[in-house]
């Protein structure tokens, strides 16, 4: 265990520790410590660590109540196992959890209000534990995990449909109300030869029912993806920098596509114009690496010959579905977007030959700084 020793431990069922007389003793620290007791289980923990990561302890230690000055704090809930998982996460570990540990950890995250533990639970959602995560998060009211697990299930719904039937009706209805992620692609394009603009400046999405790529939208006439930074944040596409063809003049505006309204807007570029740059989203949002994206337990890859969905099973990749490739030259950026029902209806009209226009707004919606 990182940053600590377990003392007075013994074995128990399911390979978990017997916590009846377990003491968590971090090594090498000199700061003030506090003992946290759950029945016969006692943890000696760095006080500042609890203040940093636990809203419950932060409020307690700042309350001025006599409990905040005592050397030992007794808690009736959550379980000692859940608190041990929380300590491991707070000390930088990223443990994979058993079913019992997941339930205990969720209770602990709710009771002690540990955001870091909630984030870890979200990061370890997979097809084996997503239903347990979803149901338990609903039971204890851990909303962030509840929503993340529901979205994961929706993205894997075809594989989990039979298992989902074990949930109560309102939980099933919520999952079915959500929008699944779609595989989206932007090719390399630079404003130059007018005849090529309509063909090359498209943003496409993968129609998994028809196993083919369809046009989602067209890039603005003066937008370039050649040597530009392209990413997705909050279900919107952002393009920063890039160059115009031949002249290599740097594009002086940033562009944003809002899939919910099927509109483009512009925003100010960095103070120093950029090209041959990388654009990445802030914090936990996901853009993708090259031409691969991860959705649920599947990986999508694309080249000119084929688009392939792989199922990830243990340490092996199994070909799940093979679809039409993207037959264009040049670099590609791929990512996931949730296409709202309204956008899907617009796409169907476009596919049926009905022209739908969207004006390029000049209003600034995002500001980039160096």
**262-294 pLDDT, tens per residue?**
999 998 877 777 777 777 777 655 575 567 899
**Can you give the pLDDT at residue 192?**
65
Query: What whole-number distance in Å separates Cα of residue 18 and Cα of residue 13?
Result: 9
Per the model's pLDDT, the better-predicted residue between 265 and 346 turns out to be: 265
**Can you give the pLDDT at residue 290?**
62
**Can you give the pLDDT at residue 318?**
92
Average pLDDT rounded to a whole number, residues 180-209: 81
Average pLDDT rounded to a whole number, residues 233-253: 84
**Can you give the pLDDT at residue 306?**
94
Q: Mean pLDDT lowest for which of 4-18, 99-113, 128-142, 154-168?
A: 4-18
For CATH 3.30.710.10, list the domain ranges present in the chain: 4-124
**Can you give the pLDDT at residue 56?**
93
Long-range contacts at 87-91 (CB < 8 A, ≥ 24 apart): 87/4, 87/24, 87/43, 87/45, 88/1, 88/2, 89/114, 89/116, 89/117, 89/120, 90/49, 90/52, 90/53, 90/114, 90/116, 90/117, 91/1, 91/2, 91/3, 91/4, 91/26, 91/49
**Can you give the pLDDT at residue 276?**
73
Average pLDDT rounded to a whole number, residues 178-185: 95
Q: Mean pLDDT lowest for which of 224-238, 311-325, 339-353?
A: 339-353
**Can you give the pLDDT at residue 53?**
95
Average pLDDT rounded to a whole number, residues 246-255: 82
Can you name the residues that pair with 184 across neighbouring β-strands? 205, 335
Average pLDDT rounded to a whole number, residues 303-317: 89
Average pLDDT rounded to a whole number, residues 185-190: 85
Average pLDDT rounded to a whole number, residues 34-51: 92
Per the model's pLDDT, the better-predicted residue between 25 and 330 turns out to be: 330
Question: What's the full length of the chain, in residues?
Answer: 370
Average pLDDT rounded to a whole number, residues 184-193: 80
C-alpha radius of gyration, the chain, whole number: 25
Is 3.30.710.10 the CATH classification of the domain at 4-124?
yes
Average pLDDT over the chain, rounded to whole? 82
């Amino acid at each position: 265990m990182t940053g600590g020793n377990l003392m007075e431990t013994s074995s128990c069922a399911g390979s978990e520790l017997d916590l009846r007389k377990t003491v968590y003793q971090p090594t090498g620290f000199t700061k003030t410590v506090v003992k946290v007791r759950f029945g016969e289980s006692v943890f000696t923990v760095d006080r500042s660590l609890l203040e940093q990561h636990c809203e419950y302890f932060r409020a307690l230690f700042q309350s001025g109540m006599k409990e905040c000055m005592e050397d030992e704090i007794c808690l009736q809930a959550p379980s000692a196992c859940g608190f041990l998982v929380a300590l491991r996460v707070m000390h930088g570990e990223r443990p994979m959890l058993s079913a019992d540990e997941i339930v205990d950890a969720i209770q602990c995250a709710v009771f002690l209000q540990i955001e870091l533990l909630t984030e870890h639970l979200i990061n370890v959602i997979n097809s084996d534990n997503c239903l347990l995560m979803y149901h338990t998060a609903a039971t204890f009211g851990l909303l962030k995990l509840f929503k993340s697990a529901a979205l994961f299930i929706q993205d894997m719904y075809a594989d989990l449909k039979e298992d989902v039937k074990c949930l109560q009706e309102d939980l099933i209805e919520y999952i079915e109300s959500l929008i699944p992620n779609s595989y989206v692609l932007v090719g390399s394009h630079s404003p130059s030869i007018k005849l090529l603009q309509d063909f090359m400046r498209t943003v496409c999405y993968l129609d998994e029912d028809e196993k083919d790529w369809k046009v989602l939208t067209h890039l603005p006439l003066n937008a370039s993806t050649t040597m530009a930074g392209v990413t997705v944040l909050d279900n919107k596409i952002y393009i920063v920098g890039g160059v115009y063809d031949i002249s290599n003049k740097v594009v002086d505006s940033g562009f944003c596509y809002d899939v919910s309204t099927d509109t483009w807007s512009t925003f100010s570029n960095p103070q120093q114009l950029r090209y041959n740059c990388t654009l990445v989203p802030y914090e936990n949002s996901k853009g993708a690496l090259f031409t691969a994206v991860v959705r649920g337990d599947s990986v999508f890859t694309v080249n000119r010959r084929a688009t392939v969905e792989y199922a990830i099973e243990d340490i092996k990749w199994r070909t799940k579905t093979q679809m039409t490739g993207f037959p264009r030259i040049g670099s590609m950026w791929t990512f996931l977007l949730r296409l709202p029902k309204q956008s899907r209806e617009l796409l169907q009209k476009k596919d049926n030959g009905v022209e739908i226009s969207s004006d390029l707004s000049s209003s600034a919606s995002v500001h980039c700084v160096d």
